[in-house]
Amino acid sequence: MTTPPVSPVPLSFLDLVAVREGGTVAEALAIALQTARHAEALGFTRYWLAEHHNMAGIASSATAVLVGHIAGGTRTIRVGSGGVMLPNHAPLVVAEAFGTLAELYPGRIDLGLGRAPGTDGMTLRALRRDRIEREEDFPRDVAELQHLLAPATPGQQLIAMPGAGTRVPIWLLGSSLFSARLAAARGLPYAFASHFAPRLLLQAIDLYRREFQASDTLANPYVIIGVPLIAAPTDTEADFLASSTFQRVLGILRGDRRRLQAPQPDFMARLSADERAAIADFLGAAVIGGPDTVRDGLARLLSATGADELMLVCDIFDPALRLRSLDLAVSARDALGRGTSA
């Protein structure tokens, strides 16, 4: 008796909209749209954009605006935030923005929420003015946002217009146990930021699944994990292309953020052992290599996590080679066989 086929694990994409050395913001935005269209043609499930501020190499600060731009330039792929950093915004403003997007692009908008500022202390103060964030504020703001996006009730005085009744799907994002526990308690889907902080990945998703309580929007736990991915025809070329990512990570660790740099040969070999170890820790969930290496890397991640969806982060300097990397990722995913999907 043959085993019925299982659909391959869905792939999605998280874009930081990197500004390349020697390039412009306008070019970065054009590359993002080109990448989204390519991901859509490959059958990717969703395309998310991340909120960051005051960073020379990242052009995704106006996240809701970019979500609209990408959704308007595609036809079927879901588009959303990965995420909006909720402490930076009043829930009503977020509800109105994403409610408007949901009316413009019905059934295609996601609202991923994070509780980190996505920036440095000085910029945080510029964004929030005198507001001081407390631990209990994030759960309260999530609940308020859910209420604002639900159908308005009789006598409700504060109504998001647009927004009320759109039920934009809310995702909680995180790299610690806090958001995992909150997502479980509220019956929301959960995305773990293993693309930059993989250390608590297994612990967080285990906690989320164990404590999950079904809601009117989600009957069973659903987990996305972030995966830094660099795929090329050979391991050697992939390692070379990944040096752009290694340079970006080293800049983050040193507090020296720059635009995305061109790849350099033997970049890692020129670093100290401590620097190499720190980069490896940051990229602990990364999959870098040729087709066989990528296939095996994806298989290991799926086996370890049982993830329902993989969200790829692909920082390759040459936009054409970035698109090729997505092609190879799909081929590697499909080559896993039918039994590894969550």
> How do residues 90-138 score in pLDDT, each as one tens digit?
999 999 999 999 999 999 999 999 987 645 565 556 555 556 666 678 9
Mean pLDDT, the chain, as a whole number? 92
CA separation for the pair 152, 164 (Å, rounded): 6
Q: Is residue 59 pLDDT above 50, yes or no?
A: yes
Q: How far is CA 268 from the centre of its chain?
A: 26
Q: Please choose, from the candidates 209, 179, 163, the residue with its C-alpha nearest in 3D space to the C-alpha of residue 307.
A: 209
Say yes or no to pLDDT of 49 above 90: yes
Pick the more confident residue, 131 or 80. 80
Taking the C-alpha atoms of residue 321 and residue 337, their distance in angstroms, rounded to an integer, is 26
323: amino acid identity, one letter: L
- Mean of pLDDT values over 307-326: 98
pLDDT bucket at 2, cuts 50 / 70 / 90: very low
Please report, for the chain, how many H helices and E strands are present, in that order.
Answer: 11, 9
> How many residues are recorded in the chain?
342
Residue closest to 291 by CA, chosen among 319, 258, 333, 243: 333
pTM: 0.92
Please say if the pLDDT value at position 339 is more than 50. Answer: no
Cα–Cα separations (whole angstroms), residue 163 to 83, 89, 103, 289, 331: 18, 15, 8, 43, 39
> Which DSSP symbol is given to 260?
B
Percent of the chain with pLDDT over 90: 86
Alpha helix segments (H runs only) across 23-175 = 25-41, 63-72, 91-104, 121-128, 137-149
pLDDT band of residue 4 (cuts 50, 70, 90) is very low
Helices (H), the chain: 25-41, 63-72, 91-104, 121-128, 137-149, 177-186, 201-211, 235-254, 273-282, 291-305, 319-334
In the structure, what pLDDT confidence band is assigned to residue 55 with cuts at 50, 70 and 90?
Answer: confident
Interval 286-302 mean pLDDT: 97
158, 160, 101, 332: which is closest to 230 by C-alpha? 332
DSSP one-letter code for 86: G
Of all residues in the chain, the percent with pLDDT exceeding 70 is: 91
User: Residue 163's Cα: distance from chain center in Å?
Assistant: 23
Q: How confident is the model at residue 130, as a pLDDT?
A: 59
pLDDT for 207: 98
Task: Give the separation between CA 225 and CA 228, rounded to whole angstroms.
Answer: 10
Please give the pLDDT value at position 129. Answer: 52
C-alpha angle 226/229/235, rounded to 5°? 150
Per-residue pLDDT, averaged over 261-284, amounts to 96
Alpha-carbon torsion (241, 244, 249, 253), positive or negative:
positive
φ and ψ of 223, to 5 deg = -120, 130
The conformational region for residue 215 under phi > 0 = left, psi -120 to 50 = alpha, else beta, is beta
Has residue 162 got a pLDDT over 60? yes
Say which range, 1-5, 82-86, 90-94, 290-294, has the weakest mean pLDDT: 1-5
pLDDT at residue 341 tops 50: no
pLDDT band at 3 (very low <50, low <70, confident <90, very high): very low
> How many angstroms separate the Cα of 294 from the Cα of each of 246, 332, 333, 334?
18, 6, 8, 11
Residues 264/272, Cβ–Cβ less than 8 Å? no
Query: Which H or E run includes 263?
Result: none
Q: Do residues 315 and 50 lie in contact, with contact meaning Cβ atoms separated by under 8 Å?
A: no
> Domains of the chain, with CATH numbers?
11-228+291-314 (3.20.20.30)
Task: Report yes or no: 16 and 50 within 8 Å, Cβ to Cβ.
Answer: yes
Q: Is the pLDDT of residue 280 over 60?
A: yes
Q: Which of 189, 161, 148, 195 is nearest to 175 (CA)?
A: 195
